[in-house]
Amino acid sequence: MFKKIVTFLAFGAVIFGMVWLFLYQQSHSHTSHEVHDFLTCEEAGGSILESYPRQCVYEEHTYTETLEEGKGELIGGQRDEHGCLGPAGYSYDDIVKACIRSWELDTTQKLAATVAVDHLGPAYGTTILAVHSGSCEGCYTIEVSQNPDEPVFTNVTLENFEVV
């Protein structure tokens, strides 16, 4: 009986060792990549962080993307061809005819912003800063910035989607 138990334990230890070795090799199989900068980290399947400039993490090392001069995203107060501050998240909307942060506005808020811009007249750099819902349906207060060189801030109030 003792001999059977020892044989069983030895067999179990061998199986356990083989499984452990297999799992260890699987978890370290990606180490064959030579990673020395952002690009090779990205190619090796490293985790890309949402930062500027982008960063890649691979085997506990972080590599930062090298940007060429004059390329990459806009920075500081630079504006695009419509006068929108891209680095602040604003982009031109063809329907609203102004710079907006599209993720901040739902469909009815975009409609309210469109009415406000139509009332003020579309112009270079017109930016929708905020759209606040009022106490009734179709009631909004829209904060608008115009003339980026000498900003003019205006609040446009709507009732039933009409300027009051």
pLDDT at 69: 58
pLDDT at 18: 85
Most distant CA atoms of the chain, gap in Å: 96
pTM of the shown model: 0.54
Reduced to 3 states (helix: H, G, I; strand: E, B; else coil), residue 7 is helix
Residue from 82, 81, 155 nearest 119 by CA: 155
Average pLDDT in the chain: 84
Give pLDDT < 70 ranges for the chain.
26-33, 68-77
pLDDT at 14: 87
Query: How far is 100 from 112, CA to CA, in rounded Å?
Result: 12
pLDDT at 127: 92
The answer to whether the CB of 62 falls within 8 A of the CB of 55 is yes
pLDDT in tens, 153-162: 889 999 999 8
pLDDT at 74: 45
Q: How many CA atoms lie within 13 A of 140 on its CB side?
A: 24
